[in-house]
Chain A
Amino acid sequence: MKFGKRLKQQIEESLPAWRDKFLSYKELKKLVRQISSAESCVEYGKADAEAEFVHLLNNEIDKFNVFFMEQEEDFIIRHKELQQRIKRVIETWGPNGTKPSEAEYKDEMAKIRKDIVNFHGEMVLLVNYSNINYTGLAKILKKYDKRTGGLLRLPFIQKVLQQPFFITDLVSKLVKECENIIDEVFPVEQEDEEEIVKEQREAITVAGKGIFRNTVAALLSMQEIRRGSSTYGHFSLPPMDLPDSDLIHSFQLNSPIPIV
């Protein structure tokens, strides 16, 4: 149930529009339990139950695919638009633009920076979405095989590997491009160590916000899930190596105190 709980947590923390797009892990688990307890030795009955299970899994996968590709399309568009926007700002209010204005430029750039960082985060969250659903599927299939003695897992998971929602290469590429843009447009200042440490402390408090919080939760969830389980086997992932784990743990703040 550890995964189920983790999944639920992540769903809660995710963007509202996403919440019903995740794997219905609990329901599928119930079904597996149902099947394994109710099943007779009759071959027919078993095949039937399996067909039903597969049907539900396929529905889930369709759900993932549709949602994933929709988001991906959005990201492609927004990625391009961000670049255009940056260009426009530079061309207009930049020092060599048509109406150079340091104030406007700064202002706009600040907005862009926030947007682009959030955009980056959203894309990463989509990759996370893909991954956590895959993990859930792998787990539920393993459960199915274990409890019903079926051999559904291996062939089915091969299909899953080829599903659009699992093939996240494009989104990953966009993420990296976005990182490049961020590095280019917002170069990191070299500051002395003490200042940097202070800045970091302050920045921690901002972690309460939307996407950032979500990514922190996702990262920690991942670590938890891979911590090693009782059913650790050869198809299981090794424990995660997460540098700065302490830092990330410290991000787990509750919602910010309202300003009165």
Chain B
Amino acid sequence: MPSSFLALTSFKDKYSTSPSSFQVSSGREVMENSVSLQESSLAPSNGTLGNSSLSPSIVTDHMCASALPHVQHSHNPAFISQSSRDLASLLPLDASFSQSTASLIHTQGNKDVSWSLDRLQMFLDFPENTPAPNQLVESSTSVLASEDHNKKTNWQEWADDLINVVDPDWSKILDNTNVLNPRVELPKPSGDISKQQPQFHQNQLVPHGEFSSHAYPSSTAPPTKPRMRWTPELHEAFLEAVNQLGGSERATPKGILKLMNVEGLTIYHVKSHLQKYRTARYMPETSEGTSEKRITSIEEMKSIDLKTSIGITEALRLQVEVQKQLHEQLEIQRNLQLRIEEQGRYLQMMFEKQKKVEDEKGGAPSSASDDLLAPLPGSKHPPCNNGKSDSEALEQDHSRTGIGPGNAGTNEDKSSSGVSTKQKMPETESTVHDESGFSVSKRARTEK
């Protein structure tokens, strides 16, 4: 019977189209109506928002959560390894296998982990040792991470800008969104409150780049369910409070809220968190893997059988390896994506600076820039893809502002995506120029 499992049948695509729940409103009129509705609804609520005072960092409040009691017991290393050996009962099977298997195993490394008391304590105490909430490393966007449980949004302001714009005046909109103001985020249409959970509306002081302190909003205009972002530290404080109140069954949301004494935390947050906690606590088997619920009965039977006949340990080990790899790749990909956008932003900024310089120089923009650019020495930047003269002029703009050699060097050092970023700018700009013509004044609106 085991051999039947080994049949490496090809993976058949048996999917049925998954119904998407996304409802796209048909026709513009509907959208226009909702847009105008939002306009009117936004206006009044805009006034009630913001201007809440910045409160000092909340982080410190719940740092008083006491440390987990250290696990004090010793272990017999021999006992553990014995049991794990027992777990891994294997049946020899033969199937052909690729060499990559072996390499996979070797990449796992030799984990000669001795089961010492120290290590046990270490992993149990691990969350305690994590540094204060500043999770994010990257630049100024660390605000979000440093906010333990609040979302930073500037919905209303942005939504206003966007919706009220007839002729998109991007420079106006984007004034709020320059690099120094990383906290301004996408708007959330307040008209959809009933359906969605409104975010915490961040303090309007945000646009002025004050992101050092932790700003927690006062109660927002829509009183229902503001969403909060929990952190392990906050959860620790929660647990502390719950334990003080006699456990998850006896503790009440109100009591917990009071004990935790975290500004910006509402009883709703505590209530829902408590509910989740109770679920997780009293249904450990099922809650650990929501996956468990979805395993069909057939698969369940198989898994039981596998446990006895095939190395479940090995299976799990392999699973972890794949998961680790996926995670690693995701992290790499994410970093790349961030870098790409960062670079694009940087180039755009340079471009804008250049434009301003040209503006200040005054006179006929086109002719002026052409004249200025004509005697330019060719810098070692990659050739522009499209043959439009405008874009070439822009390209030389870039080099003139010092992006050229230095940047080109760094660009070429990075992946190909880096190199071609520079080319993207002229390309995009040329698209714009097709529409609006090469005029500097109009280019103000192309601020990307």
Contact = CB atoms under 8 A, between A and B. Distances in A.
Interface string B65-95: 0000001011110011101111110111111
B422 A197 contact: no
B21 A20 contact: yes
Contacts of A94: 73, 75
A113 B316 contact: yes
A10 to B, nearest CB: 10
B327 A172 contact: yes
Given A62-B196, A167-B144, A210-B294, A154 B448 contact: yes
Interface string A221-260: 0100010000001111110101111111011111111110
B301 A258 contact: yes
A159 B73 contact: no
Nearest to B77: A187
Contacts of A87: 71, 124
Contact of B196 (A66, A105, A207): A66
B248 to A, nearest CB: 11
Contacts of B331: 127, 172
Interface size class, chain A: 35 or more
B29 to A, nearest CB: 10
Interface in B289-342: 289-292, 294-295, 298-299, 301-303, 305-307, 310-320, 322-327, 329-331, 333-334, 336-338, 340-341
Give the interface centre of B93, B104, B329, B348 by most chain A CB atoms within 10 Å: B329
Interface in B8-34: 8-12, 15, 17-22, 24-25, 28, 31-32, 34
Interface in A139-176: 145, 149, 151, 153-164, 166-170, 172-175
Contacts, number: 469
List the 6 shortest-distance A-B pairs measured between CB atoms, nearest first: A234-B420, A24-B22, A154-B448, A115-B288, A206-B315, A199-B314
A80 B235 contact: yes
Interface string A196-209: 11111111111111
Contacts of A65: 151, 199, 227
B186 A163 contact: yes
A121 B124 CA distance: 20
Contacts of A205: 5-6, 306, 310
A143 B329 CA distance: 25
A17 to B, nearest CB: 7
A163 B100 CA distance: 38
A188 interface: yes
Interface in B45-81: 71, 73-76, 79-81
Main secondary structure of the interface of A (DSSP, over half): helix
B280 A72 contact: no
B12 A218 contact: no
Given A20-B18, A94-B75, A256-B302, 18 more contacts: A20-B19, A44-B166, A114-B312, A117-B320, A127-B327, A163-B186, A166-B334, A187-B80, A193-B105, A202-B311, A206-B306, A234-B422, A235-B417, A236-B417, A237-B337, A242-B325, A244-B325, A248-B325
A104 to B, nearest CB: 11
Interface in A97-140: 97, 102, 105-106, 109-111, 113-122, 124, 127-128, 131, 134-135, 138
Contact of A215 (B95, B130, B276, B326): B326
Given A20-B21, A206-B306, A234-B423, A72 B102 contact: no
B145 interface: yes
Given A58-B187, A124-B326, A172-B327, A235 B291 contact: no
B189 A177 contact: no
A55 B31 contact: yes
A31 B145 CA distance: 34
Contacts of B110: 188, 190
A11 B177 CA distance: 33
Contacts of A186: 84, 313, 316
